[in-house]
Structures are given as C-alpha cells and as structure tokens.
Amino acid sequence: MELDKESNEQIIASEAFVPHLSGDYVARYNALVNKLANLLPANRVSFIRKEIAAMKDKEESLNRLKYVAALSVLVDLSQQGWIFDIEDGNLVLKMETDNVDDKKMLRYRLSAERNAQFKTDSVASFIRRMEADKKYKDRIVSIKSLIGEPQFLLNKIKNHERVCDPYIQLVTSDRDEYTGYKLSDIWRYIRYTWSIPYKSMPGRNLFYLVRDRLQPCHPIIGIFALGNSVLNLTVRDDDIGWTVEAIKKNMGRRREINYCNQALSETDGKTVKVKITKPIESKEEYDKRISEYADKIYPLLLKNIAAAIDDLYVKDLGYHRQTRYPKQEQVDQLLKIAAEYAEKSINNKNNEVSPDWEAEAQTNLFKRKRASELAKLLSTRIIFNKAKGKTNKERLQYLISNEEGRKAINTALIANRKCKIGSNMMDIIVCGAIPPYNELLGGKLVSMLACSPAVIRDYTNHYSNQISEIASRMKGKKVVRDSRLVYLGTTSLYAIGSSQYNRIKVPLSNEGTLEFRKMGVTEGYGTVFFSRETTNFFSKILELQDGGKRINHVFGEGTSPRFRMISRGLNAIGIRADAFLRHYSPRIVYSINLAKNTNEFLLGVEEDVDYGFDLEDTNDVDEKTQEIIEFWYTRWLEKRLTTVDIEERLKSFKLSDLLLGNI
C-alpha cells in the first residue's frame, strides 16, 4: 500500500516483521501474510488468532513454538497501536504519531492486557468476592462501602463544613476494621481500576491507602505504591552527579548563554539568531572551584572502588585484598572464570531458608557474577593507577580526556550508585485518586503523601534490618544496607505530563520544600503491552534453546526478569527487540528530594541525612505529615470548589462505572 507524503510524516517508526522460521513454517507464515494483505485491517487480528488456535493440536516442537510466538507477538503489537502494512509481500509494522500522543489511544493500547486479566478465573473470582455483599459487625458491606459517597461530599460543601479528613494507611496483612477485608485486597481491587495492567513487582515494595475518616467505613481517596528505582536513568543520574557527563560539566568553566538577532549583509534585512557565550567566572574563580571539586570527587571515586572490592567474596578467585596494583593478567584470568561459570548458570536456585551466605557465594551463578565484577573493578583500579598528574584536579582531567579514563570513572560511579539505588531510593510506581475524590484533586493529595515523613519513617522501619540478598551472596556474609529513604522518582503516563504532579511545591515548616521537579523526558522501553501468552511461549522457546532455564526469577540473575525474558524471546524468533520493546510514548521524569542534602548523601560526600524533622519522634513525623494534608486542603481543594462546577461533577459520578464486575 502506497502512503502519501502527509501520511509518511505521521510515521515515527517502521519495522519489517520477518521472523526466523524453519521448514514448513516459512511457507505457512508467507501464506498468512498474503492472506492478511487481502483482509480488511479490522479483521486481521481475528484471523491471526484463528491461526494460533489451529496450531494447538500440532506436534510440540521448537519450530512450532517460534511460529506461534511470532503470531502472538503480532496480536500484542496490533493492540499497542502498530499498523500492519504489506509491502512487496512482506509484513511491515508502522507506528503513527496519533497512536503515541493521544491519551485515548494509549489507554486503548493498555486496555487489552488489563482486560485479559479480568478473564482469568482467579481474578474474576476475586472481583466477584469483593463486590458481593457480606455481613460484617452487624452491617452489610462490600467493596462498594469503600467508595466515597458524592452526596455526602456535596452536603459538606453546601454547609461550608470540612469536606474530607484524609489520612494514609500502610497496607499490611491486617484486615480493615470497617469492612473486614484484607488491606491488601482493598488495594488490589482499587489498583485493578487503573488503565494500565496490574503486575506484581519484585524487590522492595510499600503499598498505601489514602482514606477519608469523615465518611462511614473511611472510603478510599486513592492509592499509591513505592517500588525499586530504575537502575539507569540518565536525566536523574546527571542531576545527582552520577555520570561522567555530570563530572565533565562540573569541571568545565561556567558560561552564560544568550541569543541575539544579527542582520545578514546583502539580504534586504534578513536576520539569523546567533548564540553568544561568555564566562561567568574568572580564571582564578574557575581554578579554585574545580580544584575544590576534584579534591572532593576524586577520593570518593577511589573509595567507591575499594568499597566495591571489599563487598566481594574473593577466597576462590585468586585475589589478595592487599593488592594495590593489580595486573592485567589477573583481570584476564577472572574473565576466563566468569565465562566458564556463565555456561554452568542454568536452572539457578537460591536457598531462601536460612541460607549459608558463603556457600551461596560459591554457586555457579554468583561465582560468575563475582569474577566478572572483580575483573571490572581491578581494570578500573589499573586505569586510576595510571592517571597522570600531581593533583586530584590534574588526574581527574586526565581521566576525563580519554575513553578509557571515562569508562573507569563510570565504573567507580556505578559502584556507589548500585548501593544507593537499592536502599536509599524508591520510585512511585502507582499513584492516583479514584472517583469521586479525583474531582476534588485527590490525585495531588496522594502524590504529596507519597513523599511524606510518615512514608519515610515506614520505609526506614520496614527495611532497617532487612538482609540484602544479592549483596550477601556476593560478599559471602550477611549484609544489611542503610535504609534511610532520601529520594523518590516517578514518570508521567502521558507525554504531556501528569496533572497530579504539576506545580506541586509544598513549603514545609522545617524551611524545606517538597517539590516534584521535572528532570526531562524519556521514551524508554517496557513490556507492559506483551501478554502472558506471549511470555509463556518465549519461556518454552528459551528453555529448549538453552538446555534449561537461564531466567528463574532468583536473586542475582539480573534486574527485570520479565524484560529480559521478552527481549531474549524476540531475539530468539529473529525480531528486533529494541524496536518493539520501545514504547514510543515520551514520558516526563520527575524527582523528589526527601532530605535537604539528598544529592550530597547519594554522592557519598555526606554520611548524615538532614530531613528537617526527627525521624524517631512519632509526634514530629505525624505533625509534618498533617502539614502536607492541610496544605493540599487550602491550596488545592478549597480553590477547586470555586473554579469548577463541582456539584455537577460529583452528581455525574456513577458507582457502576467504577465497579470491575461491569467491565
């Protein structure tokens, strides 16, 4: 099909979909593509589904699995918004700008997997149980009892009374005192109402309900959850100072940039915009500043390397801890060990019950990881040992000036970053209000409370004694990381940002400010659009190819097992993973510093954390959290009542629209 010029301008991605198939399945796939060319676009997915169903009775084989997996991927991609086109007998998938920027289209792209969840027996049974009436403490209750009553809110508004009285509740294994449901079940039900599919997240997690104590049963205003921070996020890491680019910027001379229009000669008055830069610090000021900066950063980089080596069990790696000047021969031997044990790392299992950390360190998986990590750290130490210069400034400038040195600096930065990301930072992975409180800007309240002193306290208390599973297996002994939470990050779901995060800037009585700062934009990659069926096909394919399972969802195999599974699965069937894992939906990255010295602490410059309140004083924590609630009430809720027809909006809410059983 030919596209006109205007249509071509709407295409932001175009990828041929030619899976690597064998035997009869090559002809079968080509026949399917030819058939698709003669079908209306609306009928293509149903035809592919019929072909998948027809393959169920065929003999189980690797070739069949690859064919069916490729078809399953096509179904998923169609629901993501990829458009099927046939060019010269080949299937080409295209993504248009309209399918990326439009909120309704993005919700549609997300809805397929979300709605598929509701069809599974366990989820459908859960929904029925939560929506069914039951007797609890002499009253009839259901999940409907935990949905706010619009008329109650309207009466409060009309009588000029306090409209709601919010508080946050940490989700535990306890049961709700008003309905008898498990708090976790309440959170789960509300989470299912989101447009994005619900998937459990491994690692550290905290879940919260935000409730209104003014109404009977204390209905849910909204929910939020914290999860492990993303390991690599350039805009965030640049801001903290965790990248080579950040160090280069700090070592450069500060300049002011201005623009002016300059007339072009012999052009009848035409002008061009000219960029003008000039230093804003003298040569003496510049030399003094970067010398002080280098004297602070360079020793930290060396300290990071030493600490990372000290965190490794090395008795079986032929390395002596007192070695200050390692040789390349040692690095080569470690890489040889890592390669040998990588081949042995199949069907990995962790001893989860009273593990012997030293024995765990010597398993195939962790010996491979330790050898690889030590090789990288010793290579870095070799490069630092060769750095030319008499001062820290000269040595840092030397390392920045060449590729090998920049790589070494990056390794030293990552050594510190890995520890901090896993223990002192979290991401807001779920955040939002539900009707009818969304009309009262409850989303902003939930966003603020996710960063409250109460959450910092809960996190610290919950993880203060938790053993770091991976670090303990790498060191061969129990490791408990620092658990002071100093940073939260999150991203918007839509390219235009998130109204619940915009303009949040809360002045605190401790002279601090709680602010959602826009760090930049990331397009990123994700697997949320891929179905469970596709993942299952990939799992079977990889197990047959590898002679066992390399992705076993155990500590130490690597982050994001689902992402690795789908990425490797796409590559296994000959499809470019980077093309179809990219979600083509720009998202705004936000950061929230929870301490006055967040960046200094994360860099390792300072060891103490200055929250501006006493984390161990319950009254102080509760008072500071209540301050945030009161700020939201006066700054956002009260103004909301005067800027929209709140009566019409609240009256338009229908409980039936929220209930999952009606989907």
Q: Which pLDDT value is given to residue 195?
A: 75
Q: Is the pTM of the predicted complex or chain greater than 0.85?
A: no
β-pairing, 425-433 with 271-279?
unpaired
Residue whose token pair is 């007998």: 89
* Phi/psi of residue 228, nearest 5 degrees: -55, 140
**Cα–Cα distance for residue pair 486/501, rounded to 1 Å:** 19
Q: Which pLDDT value is given to residue 544?
A: 84
Q: Which pLDDT value is given to residue 7?
A: 45
Q: Contact 46/91 with Cβ under 8 angstroms?
A: no
Confidence of residue 350 (pLDDT cuts 50, 70, 90): low
Residue whose token pair is 């992975």: 429
pLDDT above 50 (res 388)? yes
Q: Contact 148/215 with Cβ under 8 angstroms?
A: yes
Q: Considering only the C-alpha atoms of the chain, give the largest distance between any 2 of them, rounded to a whole number of Å.
A: 91
pLDDT above 70 (res 532)? yes
Q: Buried b vs exposed e over 342-363: b needs ≥16 C-beta within 10 Å?
A: beebeebebeeeebebeebbbb
Q: Contact 437/221 with Cβ under 8 angstroms?
A: yes
* Digit-coded pLDDT (tens) for 146-177: 999 999 999 999 999 999 999 999 999 999 99
**Cα–Cα distance for residue pair 423/425, rounded to 1 Å:** 6
Highest-pLDDT range among 52-66, 68-82, 227-241, 393-407: 393-407
